[in-house]
Homo-oligomer: A and B are copies of this chain.
């Protein structure tokens, strides 16, 4: 007997043909859904079933399961990054607190999404390097700018962020991320509203950074303007 049922489920209704590029897009989009929900260990047959298509067809478009998974990573990590993230943080026409609230508002619009979060966590556990690269992106494009803007708003001289500053920014950033995890992955009732939670976190972030500046800018009042990275 055939090892997969009629792709559509309903007998007789033969699948419409699609041009190669469209089909590919469709496959990737559904693969994001599918692997996000079921994990990357789930079978290509399961994905094909959800697509209403036979399993070997996948291999016409992707040489292997791993290649398909790479496309999934790209669609999520690269495809959903928005250039306005960086602009929002750096826009000095508004107070930093406003900017950060605005930034985390739109950033969480992207990442507070079941697909995004689950792909992120699954891929992190797999140890694929795109994950490490994404964290590098967050550090360079989000956290370092935030620290720099906070220094600027305090009237402190420019200088590369210290490890302790970045680490603290990571804790707050991770706290906001984890808020999404609780909501979307653990589905534990997250009752307070997002704007308020972000507002509290942003206030604490700025408080913590100013506190750090106060602790570290004593010994170097003028500071080595553009000294080598600390640590």
Contact B179 A177 (CB under 8 A): no
In the complex, identify which listed stretch (A48-56, A152-160, A203-211) lies at the interface while the others stay far away: A203-211
A102 CB–B CB distance under 8 Å: no
A78 CB–B CB distance under 8 Å: no
Chain B residues with CB below 8 A from A76, complex form: none
A32 CB–B CB distance under 8 Å: no
A107 CB–B CB distance under 8 Å: no
| Chain B residue at minimal CB-CB distance from A136 | B188
Contact B168 A231 (CB under 8 A): no
Contact A124 B186 (CB under 8 A): yes
The A contact surface, by secondary structure, is helix
| Chain B residue at minimal CB-CB distance from A125 | B121
Partner of A185, one of B39, B124, B178, B204: B124
Closest CB-CB distance, A177 to chain B, in whole Å? 6
A175 CB–B CB distance under 8 Å: yes
A190 CB–B CB distance under 8 Å: yes
Closest CB-CB distance, A112 to chain B, in whole Å? 13
| Chain B residue at minimal CB-CB distance from A178 | B174
A170–B187 Cα gap in the complex (Å)?
14
Contact B125 A185 (CB under 8 A): yes
Partner of A192, one of B127, B163, B178: B163
A182 CB–B CB distance under 8 Å: yes
Could you name 28 residue pairs across A and B whose Cβ atoms are closer than 8 Å? A39-B41, A39-B125, A41-B41, A124-B185, A124-B186, A125-B125, A131-B186, A132-B186, A135-B188, A136-B188, A164-B196, A167-B179, A167-B192, A167-B197, A168-B201, A168-B204, A170-B178, A170-B179, A170-B182, A171-B175, A171-B197, A173-B175, A174-B174, A174-B175, A200-B208, A203-B211, A204-B204, A207-B207
